[in-house]
Chains A and B, each alone.
Chain A
Amino acid sequence: MSFVRAQRSVLPGFGLSLGFTLTYLSLIVLIPLSAAFIKTAGMSWADFMTAVASPRVMASYRLSFFASLAAGLVNSFFGLIVAWVLVRYSFPGKRVVDALVDLPFALPTAVAGIALTAIYSKNGWVGQYLEPHGIKIAFTEIGVFMALTFIGLPFVVRTLQPVLSELEPEIEEASATLGANRWQTITRVILPELLPPLITGFALSFARALGEYGSVVFISGNMPMRTEITPLLIITKLEQYDYHGATAIAVVMLVASFSMLLVINLLQKWSRRYYQV
């Protein structure tokens, strides 16, 4: 994030490229989103509140938010390890593993959902061993979390990888020669460098999970008050030709997601400043 400076930049074309950026963003992002706001503008405040604050919708916010948060956190931890391994070590089949990471990007989300459900339901590969022990994954909140973790992993790995490969091993060696033990090298030297991309990766994974629909509806079981995610409720309202109710929930999600992303961006900026002084 840079601000317009008073003095002219040495790079020409600022006005033109900014104009282009704004036009492009308006066309691709703002116009479709503003349609949601315009549609809800026709609602009375009371209608809006019943649409967005009924117990069923509130329950779905809770599930969507906490499952996405958990998925984002888990992905941040394991994604960091995956990225670390992929950048720092070489081993046979590394290219294949690297390509595997992108699979959740490329796979149609419905396919992911059906596959996960097939594996974790009570007669599936994994489910048949878990269910006798009373562990249910498919058609529970855990299933939702699993699906969201699946789709979010590449975001963390792919944001961390370039930063990690920029981070030269010499820095670690320098830290060792200056007397730091391994733990100190990790916590004082490596992690501070990785924190900003880690926050970005977390934010992307989290935001993606909030809006995810295709993979979740298959594994969640869609039980009202328990395993309904917010995007499902938007679809449910559309199925009932309740365009206003659907857009009202969409607006709430938009505002919530935007504010969270904004906060995370600020946090990232702050973390960078803090460690680079």
Chain B
Amino acid sequence: MSSSFVRLLSSLCFAAGLAVSASRAETTLLNVSYDVTREFYKEYNPAFIAHWKETGGETVTVNQSHGGSSKQVRAVIDGLQADVVTMNGIPDVDQLAKINLIPANWATRLPNGSVPYTSTILFVVRKGNPKGIKDWSDLAKPGVSVVIPNPKTSGNGRYSYLAAWGYALRQPGGDETKARDFVKKIFANVPVLDTGGRGATTTFGQRGIGDVLLTFENEVALAIKELGSDAVEAVVPSASVLAENPVVWVDKVVNKKGTTKLAKAYLDYLYSPAGQELAARHGFRPTDPAILAKHADRFPPIALFSVPEVFGSWAAAQKTHFSDGGIFDQIYATK
């Protein structure tokens, strides 16, 4: 009985879905993205639609969906019909390859490993920097309170953790043991582990908790705008992690919907000077060196190391650090 009910229910849902899609005759594209790209894509989509029409394409509508990155990817895995997925972490996109929604070699299909723009982790401190926080080593000092979202539930926290680890490893005489000790000291200074980046910003700003907030470069400007430049300021550490924002079209979906060309063009346009310019304006580091140079005042020079450089591969970093019983869990278990 139960399986026939499930079948009945799913066919009903399917019919409802068809009815909704049939009512929209024009071509639509769904971009499933993470939280903080909302403002960027709101400007990018009209620019792309105009570009697509100019180059002889039909009128298209681009819909955006935003939310926590892994929640968004789970929705796509569970059947959300996303034509393109634009994320802030390679592991999230790898999940789509795991269930064959996209081929395993997805990163080779677009320039620069399918990453049109990048970001990094910077610090936001209270005005005047009363605790004198200049670099990662200051975060591990006793008496400094550090706000980082949970590395297990947010890309933001994951990158912050990996950046701290990478920093310690790259110090003279740095090794795994020292890095572990260093990261443990930093997390001993973390009073609250919010589940996402925006929550951490609220904790730091509205609740007045912590001396320093770790967040993405593109969030720093937003945080300062939101909290007021008379309340907080940005600090650029000596080195940090390269946060790659991969973009991908979802083969299974575009093949079915017949939007392959459109989806590809949508992502290609991100690499164009116009797309790169928009990304830069929203705080993402463009991968086009010319555009990056043009916005040098926005993007201070900083030694960036990528996750595969330091940890071998994303899969290895995930497994060693964030799996159950991994190093992050051990840090808390032995506290």
1/0 per residue A220-252: CB within 8 Å of B?
011111000000100111111110010000000
- Nearest residue in B to A223 (C-beta to C-beta)? B193
Q: How far is the CB of B125 from chain A (nearest CB, A)?
A: 17
Cα(A169)–Cα(B320), bound, Å: 68
Q: Tell which of A27, A50, A54, A236 touches B150, judged by Cβ atoms closer than 8 Å.
A: A236
Contact of A225 with B335 at beta-carbon distance under 8 Å, contacts A54-B325, A239-B70 already known? yes
Q: Tell which of B1, B152, B153, B191 touches A139, judged by Cβ atoms closer than 8 Å.
A: B191
Contact of A121 with B209 at beta-carbon distance under 8 Å, contacts A217-B195, A240-B70 already known? yes
Cα(A118)–Cα(B2), bound, Å: 46
Cα(A225)–Cα(B68), bound, Å: 24
A138 within 8 Å of B (CB atoms): yes
Contact of A239 with B71 at beta-carbon distance under 8 Å, contacts A31-B6, A221-B192 already known? yes
Cα(A124)–Cα(B208), bound, Å: 9
Inter-chain contacts of A245 with B (CB < 8 A): 324
Q: How far is the CB of B5 from chain A (nearest CB, A)?
A: 7
1/0 per residue A1-31: CB within 8 Å of B?
0000000000000000000000000110001
Q: How far is the CB of A138 from chain B (nearest CB, A)?
A: 7
Q: How far is the CB of A88 from chain B (nearest CB, A)?
A: 41
A56 within 8 Å of B (CB atoms): yes
Q: Tell which of B95, B199, B324, B325 touches A241, judged by Cβ atoms closer than 8 Å.
A: B95
- Nearest residue in B to A31 (C-beta to C-beta)? B2
Structural contact, B191 and A221, CB atoms closer than 8 A: yes
Structural contact, B195 and A235, CB atoms closer than 8 A: yes
A122 within 8 Å of B (CB atoms): yes
Structural contact, B324 and A51, CB atoms closer than 8 A: yes
Structural contact, B322 and A240, CB atoms closer than 8 A: yes
Q: How far is the CB of B137 from chain A (nearest CB, A)?
A: 23
What total of A-B pairs shows CB separation below 8 Å? 80
Number of A positions contacting B (CB below 8 A): 34
Q: Tell which of A123, A235, A239, A240 touches B208, judged by Cβ atoms closer than 8 Å.
A: A123
B206 within 8 Å of A (CB atoms): yes
Q: Which of B63-85 contact A (CB under 8 A)?
A: 68, 70-71, 73-74, 77
Structural contact, A121 and B322, CB atoms closer than 8 A: no
Contact of A123 with B207 at beta-carbon distance under 8 Å, contacts A55-B333, A236-B152, A239-B152 already known? yes
Inter-chain contacts of A217 with B (CB < 8 A): 195
Structural contact, A239 and B207, CB atoms closer than 8 A: no
Contact of A241 with B70 at beta-carbon distance under 8 Å, contacts A122-B207, A123-B207 already known? yes
Q: How far is the CB of B93 from chain A (nearest CB, A)?
A: 12
Inter-chain contacts of A122 with B (CB < 8 A): 207-209
- Nearest residue in B to A232 (C-beta to C-beta)? B195
Cα(A27)–Cα(B209), bound, Å: 46
B194 within 8 Å of A (CB atoms): yes
A218 within 8 Å of B (CB atoms): yes
Cα(A217)–Cα(B207), bound, Å: 15
- Nearest residue in B to A222 (C-beta to C-beta)? B193
Cα(A118)–Cα(B209), bound, Å: 12
- Nearest residue in A to B92 (C-beta to C-beta)? A241
Cα(A217)–Cα(B196), bound, Å: 11
Contact of A56 with B329 at beta-carbon distance under 8 Å, contacts A122-B209, A222-B192, A225-B335 already known? yes
Contact of A236 with B70 at beta-carbon distance under 8 Å, contacts A54-B324, A117-B207, A118-B206 already known? no
Q: How far is the CB of B315 from chain A (nearest CB, A)?
A: 12
A165 within 8 Å of B (CB atoms): no
Structural contact, B153 and A235, CB atoms closer than 8 A: yes
Structural contact, B153 and A239, CB atoms closer than 8 A: yes
Cα(A92)–Cα(B67), bound, Å: 46
Q: Tell which of B2, B322, B324 touches A50, judged by Cβ atoms closer than 8 Å.
A: B324
A34 within 8 Å of B (CB atoms): yes
Q: Which of A122, A222, A239 has the most chain B CB atoms inside 10 A of its CB?
A: A239
1/0 per residue B107-146: CB within 8 Å of A?
0000000000000000000000000000000000000000
Residues of A near any B CB (own CB < 8 A): 26-27, 31, 34, 50-51, 54-56, 117-118, 121-124, 138-139, 217-218, 221-225, 232, 235-242, 245
Known: A121-B207, A121-B208, A241-B70. 14 other contacts (CB 8 A): A26-B2, A26-B5, A54-B325, A54-B329, A56-B329, A56-B332, A56-B333, A122-B207, A138-B207, A139-B192, A238-B70, A239-B71, A239-B153, A240-B152
18 example contacts (A-B, Cβ-Cβ < 8 A) are as follows: A31-B5, A50-B325, A54-B325, A55-B333, A118-B206, A122-B207, A123-B207, A123-B208, A124-B207, A139-B192, A221-B191, A222-B150, A222-B193, A224-B333, A238-B70, A238-B71, A240-B323, A241-B73
